């Protein structure tokens, strides 16, 4: 589990494409790999990946990414030299600064409007309409692994308003029009919406009998 509070940005230093998966090597710096173990979970652009190898002294870490993940997320389009968001998994006793994030990406969204000022960034994201019933104004959403608050909602997307701190710490400050971003919906919102939809469907079915 994660909090959606990105700890740092790290660089992709090597990509090895093999049959049905790719191996990623990232350089994070030694300070972010302390007490790490093989098999640990780290969120990369919001995607929960399993550590396959690392060197905490040299500051690099490796992951295997399967074909399904490459197709569903933007990890299939990253290149050597790209920078990605990095978050270690939540440990017992840690401060929960964002919201509970699983690292399981449901879909991606495309930036269709972008306006930057000295102190703010307004971003509009477009995604498949079937996901919009889970996205509520002022609700939680994870974008590229960042725990954010939804601004306005539309039939085909939603807006975000990003502060300078978020832009500086994460990769969101470098995103451009047309970029595809990983989206994880808030689990509690999904559960509530699906429960209400099921109850209403059962009531309508009984009423029609």
Domain assignment present for residue 122? The answer is: yes
Same domain, 63 and 129: no
- Percentage with pLDDT > 90 across the chain: 80
Give the number of domains in the chain.
2
Residue 96 has pLDDT above 80, yes or no: no
Domain assignment present for residue 53? The answer is: yes
Among 1, 141, 14, smallest CA distance to 65 is for: 14
pLDDT per position as a tens digit, 110-141 = 999 999 887 789 999 999 999 999 999 999 99
Same domain, 83 and 121: no
Q: Which of 88, 116, 131 is the last residue of a domain?
A: 88
pLDDT per position as a tens digit, 149-207 = 999 999 999 999 999 999 999 999 999 999 999 999 998 888 999 899 889 888 887 77
Same domain, 122 and 174: yes
Identify the domain containing residue 39 by its residue range: 8-88
Same domain, 123 and 58: no
Q: pTM of the predicted model, to two decimals?
A: 0.91
CATH number of 161's domain = 2.40.30.20
DSSP string computed for 104-128: ---EEEEEEEEEE-SS-EEEEEE--
Same domain, 77 and 125: no
Same domain, 116 and 181: yes
Same domain, 114 and 189: yes
The DSSP element (H or E) to which 207 belongs, if any, is helix 187-208
């Amino acid at each position: 589990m994660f909090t959606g509070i990105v700890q740092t940005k790290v660089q992709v230093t090597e990509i090895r494409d093999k049959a049905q998966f790719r191996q990623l090597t990232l350089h994070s710096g030694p300070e972010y790999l302390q007490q790490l173990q093989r098999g640990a979970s780290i969120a990369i652009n919001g995607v929960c990946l399993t550590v396959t190898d690392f060197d905490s002294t040299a500051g690099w870490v490796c992951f295997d990414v399967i074909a399904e993940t490459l197709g569903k997320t933007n990890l299939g389009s990253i290149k050597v030299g790209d920078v990605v968001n990095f978050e270690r998994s939540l440990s017992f006793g840690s401060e929960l600064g964002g919201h509970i994030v699983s690292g399981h990406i449901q879909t991606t969204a495309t930036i269709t409007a972008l306006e930057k000022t000295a102190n703010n960034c307004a971003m509009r994201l477009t995604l498949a309409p079937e996901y919009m019933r889970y996205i509520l104004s002022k609700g939680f959403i994870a974008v590229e692994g960042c725990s954010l608050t939804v601004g306005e909602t539309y039939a085909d997307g939603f807006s975000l308003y990003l502060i300078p701190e978020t832009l500086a710490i994460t990769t969101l400050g470098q995103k451009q029009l047309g970029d595809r971003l990983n989206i994880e919906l808030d689990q509690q919102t999904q559960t509530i919406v699906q429960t209400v939809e099921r109850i209403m469907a059962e009531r309508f079915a009984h009423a029609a009998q």
